[in-house]
Amino acid sequence: MDGPYTFPTHRLARLEGANADKTPLVLVACGSYSPVTFLHLRLFEMARDDAHFNTSFHVVGGYLSPVNDKYNKLGLASAKHRVAMCDQAVSDTSDWLMVDPWEARQPRYLPTAQVLDHFDHELNTVRGGADVVVRDPRTGETRVEKRRVRVMLLAGSDLILTMSEPGVWAEKDLHHILGIYGCYIIERSESELDQSIFSSSSVHSRSPLALYRHNIHMVEQTVRNDVSSTKVRLFIRKGMSVKYLIPSVVIRYINRHGLYRTADRRRSSLAQVAPTASPSLVPTLRESGALADDSAVVFEDDEGDEAEKEREKERRVERERREGASLSPAHADQAQQEQAGGDVEMIASTSAS
């Protein structure tokens, strides 16, 4: 990411022919992308299909926007690597997706609303909108005009669930994101959203979700795909194959740079990552990939690091074994009895819950 920043536009399409009367739409998906998976890319295709068949929009481009290193979350490779992997993935697999490194280059953590503002500025203020080829019906001559681009956030259904929780997102950000831009939400195939969160006649009637329901486009994921970056990293650490889970060019990049071979023991700072989020909700939000003032990670369960949990369990057992070995036989028996009692109590507590 060295050198001056340039907003990528090389794959933006024109509106022409049968699409000339439609509204140009650009999809933006913010996320960690550590690493980028086929599911990340697939979300764009599902949203584009829905826009084509069910709306008056025509998708002229899609952008992956990796978060910057200030996110500092578990399993996060450096922004340099994540942007490079995304670049190679879209170059190898797509003819319309692009990677914008702007968010990844920023020196501070950015809220999603600011990221969308950046795209709107680059597309509509700097570039003047999308190119539209207009044909004169009398002469048959064509000319190119500009038309304002509609920018929308692309994310998973977990994002909507966090938006319906009071106090998780800053209210002004929700009005900004949903009111000005709107979003495309890809539902998990195994989950059903409670539609009452959108209802104007329910307890949610004054919520941004109800107010801007017309700006929220829900798309069902009819073919289940639960690939996640967390699972990919875990497979890599175990020496297992990740072929067909992520693009081959990304696999080669990971191997070349030795990424994800060891566990990342970093922990996010709540004050740094989500100053407006409720502390009790941080685990849930990390699972969904959506935090107050956070970029919306798509279907990203990055904090559910099962390998780290297993290692911690092994370390605890080893400590207890060493401590037991250093006790006298009588004390060791007592410690074992106390441990057994604790295990029974924990099992009973778990069953009760």
Domain locations along the chain: 17-190+206-257
- Other C-beta atoms closer than 10 Å to the C-beta of 118 total 19
* pLDDT at residue number 162: 84
Domain 17-190+206-257: give its CATH architecture. Answer: 3-Layer(aba) Sandwich (3.40)
Q: Encode pLDDT of 235-259 as tens digits.
A: 999 999 999 999 999 999 999 999 9
Percentages helix, strand, coil for the chain (3-state, rounded to 5) are 45, 15, 40
Comparison of pLDDT for 112 and 278, the residue scoring more: 112
- Dihedral pair phi/psi, residue 168, rounded to 5°: -80, -50
Comparison of pLDDT for 324 and 169, the residue scoring more: 169
Average pLDDT, the chain: 79
The Cα 210–Cα 256 span in angstroms is 48
Average pLDDT over residues 61-73: 93
* pLDDT at residue number 282: 37
Q: Encode pLDDT of 77-107 as tens digits.
A: 999 999 999 999 999 999 999 999 999 999 9
Of 184, 190, 194, 183, the closest CA to residue 225 belongs to 190
Comparison of pLDDT for 237 and 292, the residue scoring more: 237
Q: Environment class of residue 316 by beta-carbon count within 10 Å: exposed (0-12), middle (13-18) or buried (19+)?
A: exposed
The Cα 37–Cα 49 span in angstroms is 19
- Other C-beta atoms closer than 10 Å to the C-beta of 108 total 7
